[in-house]
Amino acid sequence: MTNSAKISIIIPALNEEDYIGGLLTCLCNQTFKDFEVIVIDGNSWDSTREKVFEFTGLLDLKCINAQRKGISFQRNLGVTYAQYDKIIFLDADGYIQDDFLERVYNYITVHSDVDIMTTWIEPLSTKKIDKVLYFTYNQFYLDLIKKVKPQGGGAFIFIKKAVFNALGGFNEKAYVAEDHDLFARAHKAGYKYALIKRPSIKTSVRRLEKQGRLRYIWTMGKGAIYMHLVGPIESSKIIDYMMDEGGAFYKLNISNIQHNLEHNLRFLKKKRK
């Protein structure tokens, strides 16, 4: 297969020892084999890199230790290492079926005019509330607004490398929703967008479990409104969202302590003014 037909898969990671092995196993099991995997690690303090290195020889794999953490920075760095023109971004806590890449490849081959694409996201959860929340996001957010202002989550993004570079990559100033910002800029620039329902990608609900579902919905809803009316979210003052330590955020109580301290400090500063 020629290089133009191959795919570069970029996975940003930070303290993802509990999840990244699962995703890499999914990639080992793919029916489509013509791809490379580039893991960009943001200086994890856990065994993330060791988990990745276990797949050496099983995948066409690079693991790059980034100079600093930051999901936009890590994704952008990954593209500089990508050999191929077709780029796919996956999150470390994702899960894909064995024919996922084959079906994606077949779609973008038939629809070669598509420049940027995402798919429906499903929860790795048996709870009905989670299935309802994700269905609502897919059907009543992504599907409804796709003709007006196309959006997409970072769990799965396909984009042509030339388009990515023309857009300047992900906004490294974005505090959150850098994925939605990329789709918004691609739409504004006139690039062809696609939203597919199948194959879908599954992702963990760890943030919903940690932050609470109602609080998460409120936070994301407020963020979406801000993005549509104002623009990129480039400050932590706009929405209360923390993920500075990547996967460790979901395991360490110190993250909650730090989060509450930062929130209270912001409140005190506002009160003094």
Annotate 205-271 with DSSP letters as a single string. -HHHHHH-HHHHHHHHHHHHHHHHHT--B--TTTS----TTGGGGGT-HHHHHHHHHHHHHHHHHHH
User: 238 lies in a domain?
Assistant: no
Whether the Cβ atoms of residue 61 and residue 37 lie closer than 8 Å to each other:
yes
- Range of the structural domain that residue 113 is part of: 3-205
User: 263 lies in a domain?
Assistant: no
User: 140 lies in a domain?
Assistant: yes
pLDDT per position in the chain (273 positions), as tens? Answer: 667 779 999 999 999 999 999 999 999 999 999 999 999 999 999 999 999 999 999 999 999 999 889 999 999 999 999 999 999 999 999 999 999 999 999 999 999 999 999 999 999 999 999 999 999 999 988 988 888 888 898 999 999 999 999 999 999 988 778 999 999 999 999 999 999 999 999 999 998 888 888 887 787 777 778 877 787 777 776 776 655 555 555 565 544 445 444 544 554 554 455
Residue 197, domain CATH: 3.90.550.10
User: 61 lies in a domain?
Assistant: yes
206's CB contacts (< 8 A; 6+ apart) are 93, 250
How many domains does the chain fold into? 1
The pLDDT value recorded for residue 196 is 97
User: 271 lies in a domain?
Assistant: no
User: 53 lies in a domain?
Assistant: yes
User: 257 lies in a domain?
Assistant: no
Reported pTM: 0.86
User: 42 lies in a domain?
Assistant: yes
